[in-house]
Structure 1
Amino acid sequence: MRISIMGAGALGSLIGALLHLSGVEVILIGRPPHITEIEKNGLRISGRMEALLRIPTSLHPVECDLSILTVKSYDTREAARQMKGFEFPVLSLQNGIGNEEILMEELGEERVIGGVTSYGALRVEPGHVKYTGEGEIVIGEMNGELTGRIRRISEVFRKANLNVRISRDVKMEIWKKAIVNCGINPLTAIAGVRNGALLEIPTLRKIMKEVCEEAKRIAESYGIRFDEDPVNKTFEVARKTSENLSSMLQDVMAGRRTEIDAINGEVVRRARALKIPAPINESLYRLVKVLENDGRTESSDDSNAPGA
């Protein structure tokens, strides 16, 4: 199987490296300077493993049997449009809610596979990724069918020693991870703390619980039925990743755009569509937007903000 990694940043590069080591033909697709450094000097992996790998790269989509999409949520539509001229299936392993819907709008329902992952990676510098945490990859057809392609992808992942699980309800899995992100990501970004501090500081612990409960109620209003309590799951993830800096905190520290729109922002938008209040998610959303804009107001017209 020939697999492209569309959006090969930290996470995509790590998954591509692990697949490459198992003998899979991998192409890393991304942007300079990370991709150009890999092309020139190879991909360095540190942390849980040490390796220097020569993996083919590209700045544009290429023909393959499967594309794993790991771009930031705000780049999903543009990435989908770049892949319109191809026919390969696309597996989303992104953060947030709504990525799969965008992909289906642009590419057609039959090409899109849903998924989530809890593998941890950090880009140290261009061409160098730190493998920070072994996790799980959950994949599934958006309609819940157990198809041959899902089984084949799962087998390829297993041969690469990736922890993979097939879900018959991948929409629930996406919401569950999104609720974890709703609790951990904005609070760590706003407070400037590691994940574990959300358990240690009583006020942050309380807010984390409340924001997850609010998001859970909204998910259930859309017919989502969880296989475990996402609030408890959030606390479990915070414990297991207590020393980690969340991706949103890393983005804020580096002055980059965050994925808040696809996480708490999307929860607020969907709550608004049902006329359900979501004040905690909305407050966290707006605070992170202030951080994104370096303390400046978003604009003189705030009408595009969720809940406005």
Structure 2
Amino acid sequence: MKIAIIGIGAIGALWAYKLQQAGHQVLTMTRDKSPTQLQIQLDDNPIQTFSANALSQLTTCDVILITVKSTQVNQAIAPLYSFITAQTPLIFLHNGMGALDTLGKQWQQHCLYLATTTQAAFKPSSQQVKHTGHGLTLIGRYQAHQPALSQHLLSQLNLALPSVIWDDNIQAALWKKLAVNCVINPSTAYYHCKNGALTQEQYHAQLHALIQECHQVMQLAGPAFPLDELQQYIYQVIEATADNYSSMYQDIQHQRPTEIDFITGFLLKKAKQYDLHLPTHSALYQQIKKLENDYS
């Protein structure tokens, strides 16, 4: 298959390498549109060379994966509109929720899909990517009227980077991931710690409050998971990723824009629709915005 990857961060680089390794023709699109080739080394495997930024090739792609951050979705795909056919599936894989809601009306005729993953990757340099955790990728419809992805496409993605599964209720998975991100990402960014540090007693009260507030919103706006199930799941993720630094921690450390508006910001907007007040999330949101505003 001919597959384009928009955004070659850690997850985009991981997918690019795995898909090309599986025999597919992979086209990469970078923020800097000038390079015509790029190289990626996955772990200790041989370096692979990829075609880059050939816009005209997008028209003949079988599928396009958009792996930029939620804050970059509009900026990344707007220049590509005239090169993408309405029939080409576009799979968006990023943290947070609400990024596709900001797209222009012209995109509503396209085949848009949402994905969430527990695959973990890290880029120690521009040409290196480390696969730091194996996991599950779920893909589902952005809008109810859209067709499911073909079994052939799903099977090819699954063969390249297992496991990939179609999810008819992708919103439930996205809300669960949102709750994880709302609790872990801003907390680790503000307290300057690895994920695992959040299990320390000094953070218990805040984490409990953050989880309770997430649960309040999810009861009304999202899937109604039992509170103890949600809490257990979030602590399982913390323990499984104990040695990791969250993406928001890394963004703050490198003085980059964070995804806070599509993570905690999205949760707060939903809470407002139901006249819910989330004091713990609101305070943490303001603390992260202050850190961003303090960049020199």
Give how far 1:268 is off: 0.7
Match of 2:53 among 44, 51, 58: 58
Which stretch has the larger CA shift, 19-28 or 55-64?
A: 55-64
State the partner residue of 2:3.
3
Give how far 1:146 is off: 9.4
Which stretch has the larger CA shift, 202-211 or 274-283?
A: 202-211
Give how far 1:103 is off: 4.3
| Counterpart Cα distance in 2 of 1:107 and 1:227 | 36
Match of 1:79 among 70, 76, 80: 76
Cα distance, 1:198–1:73 mapped onto 2, change above 3 Å: same
Q: How does 1:1-308 map to 2 (within 5 A)?
A: 1-32=1-32, 36=35, 39=37, 42-46=39-43, 50-58=45-53, 60=55, 62-63=58-59, 64-85=61-82, 86-87=84-85, 88-103=88-103, 105-108=105-108, 110-143=110-143, 147=147, 149-199=149-199, 201-226=200-225, 229-294=229-294
**For residues 257-300 of structure 1, what are the alpha-carbon distances to aligned partners after superposition, in whole Å with 9 as ceiling and x for unaligned?**
1111100111111211222111111111111111112278xxxx
Task: Give the conservation status (yes or no) of the 8 Å contact 1:104–1:112.
Answer: no
Task: Give the conservation status (yes or no) of the 8 Å contact 1:120–1:135.
Answer: yes
Cα distance, 1:243–1:144 mapped onto 2, change above 3 Å: same
| Counterpart Cα distance in 2 of 1:59 and 1:191 | 42
State the partner residue of 1:303.
none
| Counterpart Cα distance in 1 of 2:26 and 2:78 | 21
Cα distance, 1:106–1:10 mapped onto 2, change above 3 Å: farther
Give how far 1:122 is off: 1.5
Give how far 1:157 is off: 1.4
Unaligned stretches of 5+ residues in structure 2:
none
Provide the secondary structure at the position in 2 that maps to 1:56.
Answer: strand
| Counterpart Cα distance in 2 of 1:202 and 1:60 | 52
| Counterpart Cα distance in 2 of 1:76 and 1:172 | 22
Task: Give the conservation status (yes or no) of the 8 Å contact 1:188–1:194.
Answer: yes
**For residues 185-242 of structure 1, what are the alpha-carbon distances to aligned partners after superposition, in whole Å with 9 as ceiling and x for unaligned?**
011101111110001x213233223212212221221143449933322111110010
Partner AA of 1:257 in structure 2: P
Task: Give the conservation status (yes or no) of the 8 Å contact 1:146–1:168.
Answer: no
Instruction: Report the RMSD for the aligned CA atoms in angstroms.
Output: 2.5
Unaligned stretches of 5+ residues in structure 1:
297-308
Give how far 1:148 is off: 5.2
| Counterpart Cα distance in 2 of 1:226 and 1:100 | 24
Task: Give the conservation status (yes or no) of the 8 Å contact 1:77–1:106.
Answer: no
Provide the secondary structure at the position in 2 that maps to 1:4.
Answer: strand
Cα distance, 1:227–1:136 mapped onto 2, change above 3 Å: farther
Give how far 1:111 is off: 1.3
| Counterpart Cα distance in 2 of 1:255 and 1:106 | 33
| Counterpart Cα distance in 2 of 1:106 and 1:293 | 33
Question: Percent identity, aligned pairs only?
Answer: 27
Provide the secondary structure at the position in 2 that maps to 1:162.
Answer: coil
Partner AA of 1:76 in structure 2: V
Task: Give the conservation status (yes or no) of the 8 Å contact 2:255–2:295.
Answer: no
Give how far 1:161 is off: 3.9
| Counterpart Cα distance in 1 of 2:54 and 2:289 | 30
Cα distance, 1:187–1:236 mapped onto 2, change above 3 Å: same
Give how far 1:104 is off: 7.5
TM-score (norm 2): 0.89
Provide the secondary structure at the position in 1 that maps to 2:81.
Answer: coil
